[in-house]
Amino acid sequence: MPTIGLSFIDWIIILVYFAFVLGIGWYLRRFTKNEEDFFLAGRKNSSWVAGLAFLSANLGALELLGMTGNTFKYGMYVAHFYWIGAIPAMLFLGVYMMPFYYSSKIKSVPGYLKLRFDEKTRVLNGIAFAIMTLLVSGINLYAMALVLHTFLGWHWDISMWISAITIGIYVTMSGLMSAIFTEIIQFFLIWFGLFLVSIMGFMEIGSWHAIVTRINEISPVSFTTLWSTSGNPIENGMFINWAGIALGLGFVLSFGYWTTDFLVIQRAFSAKNLHSARMTPILASFFKMALPFIVILAGLIAIVLSHDPNSGFKLLHDGGHINYDSALPLLIARYYPTGLVGLGVTALLAGFMAGQAGNISAFNTVWTYDIYKSVLYKNASDAHLLWMGRVSTVAGVAVSLITAYWAKSFPSIMDYMQAIFSWVNAPLFATMLLGMFVWWITPNGAFWGLITGMASSFTMYMAVKFNWFSQSIITMSNVQSDMAANFWRAWWAWLICAIVTVVISLFTRKKPKEELVGLVKGLTEENIDEHLPLFKRPVFYAAISLVILIILDVIFW
């Protein structure tokens, strides 16, 4: 494969960033004196710091390479992941769920399950989350390796190992604190380093109208609308109807990720008080809505260029298959001059490192508290838990190397991600929703419902993969689409988990109401913001965010 190459100035920019990140990890190590500093960054952050870290933890390989590549594959329907597939859930987390999470002083989401239900439900979720996190963290290692492979021509193995060693060093030194610092740096690097791709592509093609017109001339289905072609699956690039989008993505996958995935929620836990914790996802929602103007627009530009014989733009091929995830790195190489290439590559690497750091910091917390201390060493001291946190960080990075090679085998990392989320997050959201809003849901109901939901989702995935039955049974459509299958599988897993949980709860022992105060709506004080004027309340900013979301959906209907 031809090497794109970097100039001396580009190299300097990248090396300065790596040295800076490792220096931050070394500097912050002196402030990491106990296990709360390592796992929760001392709970000292403002809503702005926590909010930027909250979003940046989500801005890893999935958001950058994955979403750009998926836009190339599916068209503008990918914007649903940013809008209906994110904003309502982020607002729901801030307004309704964060009071239960933050006020209970838990260190992880499985910790809430222990308080609300019991130890076995906590351990089950802890194990499932740890496995899921290591699978997902491999994506960021793979994405970093893809950039090094694309720009430098380095061998895949060398690229993977360099990525893993760098991340392992700085997260091991100071845990969540260094992860949050690098996530905030990465947030600004992404905007300054990557937004120029969309601007320059826009200028080359001429206008939004020109982009839409040229794509419509190429594609037999709509790649440039959001909802107007969702009535019939065969009319849009994702081959899915509005029900699959609303139920599978907008409800189950979205809420399952944003309200239960400890990777992002851990950042809100680092906030200095409940008000700041509630504002964390709400502030992040405004920036989340703006990201399609980088990644979705870049993907559409890549479609136009790849079908223009005079552009010379073609995606990479691996093993005879199109590598959709190479779209963004190749656009950077196309548009950026010497120096700016280094900035663009640094922005990509920063995103992947922050995403990987987020996964590993979430993994080491859940492993240490919800598996190791809960099951293996119940009397562990704080000093021992801090040591275990560092050991599990190194182990997590090592396992991520293995999962990175699996991620590489998928045509698009987005398909891989959504499959994983449908196995774990979708049924977990049913458990959390019922647990927070229905007091009589029992520990046994939650445990067996969660097991059944996860098992049914994984079974449906394997059944389609190995042709045990047709995908149409899940999607209720004769059109084949991996993403549509992910959406519908998530919905069925959520529904199965919810039904089993409710039915078993009707016949098993309930926890006394007095044990559920602060954990369940209706048994918890709700006059949180009564002392604040309207313009300072989280619900006020949540309403503004929701109005902007509706406007965007109407504009790009």
Inter-axis angle of helices 119-152 and 109-116, nearest 10: 170
Amino acid (one-letter) located at 297: L
Inter-axis angle of helices 156-205 and 340-365, nearest 10: 130
Residue 480 lies in a domain: no
Q: Which tokens go with 300?
A: 């559409």
Residue 380 lies in a domain: yes
| Residues facing 321 on adjacent strands | 318
Q: What is the mean pLDDT of residues 157-184?
A: 66
User: In the structure, what pLDDT confidence band is assigned to residue 2 with cuts at 50, 70 and 90?
Assistant: very low
Residue 546 lies in a domain: no
Residue 3 has pLDDT above 50, yes or no: no
Q: Which tokens go with 377?
A: 């060493």
Per-residue pLDDT, 188 = 74
Per-residue pLDDT, 463 = 84
Q: How big is the chain, counted in residues?
A: 557
Q: Write the CB contacts of 235 (distance below 8 Å, at least 6 apart in sequence).
A: 221, 222, 229
Q: Do residues 520 and 435 make contact, with C-beta atoms less than 8 angstroms apart?
A: yes
CATH number of the domain to which 205 belongs: 1.20.1730.10
Q: Would the pTM of this model clear 0.85, i.e. be above it? A: no
Q: What is the mean pLDDT of residues 223-227?
A: 83
pLDDT tens digit sequence for 404-459: 777 666 655 666 677 777 788 888 889 988 988 888 999 999 999 999 999 998 89
Q: How many CA atoms lie within 13 A of 440 on its CB side?
A: 7
Q: Do residues 330 and 316 make contact, with C-beta atoms less than 8 angstroms apart?
A: yes
Residue 227 lies in a domain: yes
Lowest mean pLDDT, pick from 18-27, 259-268, 357-366 = 18-27
Q: Do residues 317 and 323 make contact, with C-beta atoms less than 8 angstroms apart?
A: yes
Q: What is the mean pLDDT of residues 270-283?
A: 81
Q: What is the mean pLDDT of residues 317-344?
A: 74
Residue 326 lies in a domain: yes
Q: Please state whether beta strands 321-322 and 317-318 pair in parallel, antiparallel, or not at all (unpaired).
A: antiparallel
Q: Which tokens go with 354?
A: 């922050």
Q: Which tokens go with 384?
A: 């021992």
Q: Do residues 248 and 87 make contact, with C-beta atoms less than 8 angstroms apart?
A: no
Q: Which tokens go with 364?
A: 């080491």
| Number of domains into which the chain is organized | 1
Q: Do residues 195 and 388 make contact, with C-beta atoms less than 8 angstroms apart?
A: no
| Residues facing 222 on adjacent strands | 236
**Residue among 130, 134, 151 at smallest CA distance from 10:** 151
Round to whole Å and give the CA distance between 504 and 443.
10
Residue 434 lies in a domain: no
Round to whole Å and give the CA distance between 279 and 527.
16
Residue 54 has pLDDT above 80, yes or no: no
Per-residue pLDDT, 1 = 41
The CA dihedral of 291, 295, 298, 304, to the nearest 10 degrees, is -110
The CA-to-CA distance between both ends of the chain, in Å, stands at: 40
Structural domain span for residue 16: 8-407
| Residues facing 318 on adjacent strands | 321
Q: Do residues 37 and 31 make contact, with C-beta atoms less than 8 angstroms apart?
A: yes
Round to whole Å and give the CA distance between 419 and 415.
6
Q: Pinpoint the alpha helices (H) of 366-442.
A: 382-408, 413-437
pLDDT tens digit sequence for 500-525: 999 999 999 999 888 888 788 777 66
Q: What sign has the CA pseudo-torsion 325, 326, 332, 334? A: negative
Residue 33 has pLDDT above 60, yes or no: no
Give the chain's radius of gyration (CA, Å): 23
**Residue among 67, 98, 97, 94 at smallest CA distance from 83:** 67
Residue 114 lies in a domain: yes
- Percentage of residues in the chain having pLDDT higher than 90: 9
Q: What is the mean pLDDT of residues 233-250?
A: 80
**Whose structure tokens read 């959406």?**
487
**Residue among 172, 88, 145 at smallest CA distance from 543:** 88
Residue 449 lies in a domain: no
The CA dihedral of 419, 425, 429, 432, to the nearest 10 degrees, is 160
Inter-axis angle of helices 119-152 and 413-437, nearest 10: 160
Q: Do residues 194 and 294 make contact, with C-beta atoms less than 8 angstroms apart?
A: yes
Q: What is the 3-state secondary structure (H, E, C) of 43-81?
A: HCECHHHHHHHHHHCCCCHHHHHHHHHHHHHHCHHHHHH
As a whole number, the mean pLDDT across the chain is 78
Q: Do residues 361 and 179 make contact, with C-beta atoms less than 8 angstroms apart?
A: yes
Q: Does residue 374 or residue 29 have the better pLDDT? A: 374
Lowest mean pLDDT, pick from 38-47, 299-308, 437-446, 522-531 = 38-47
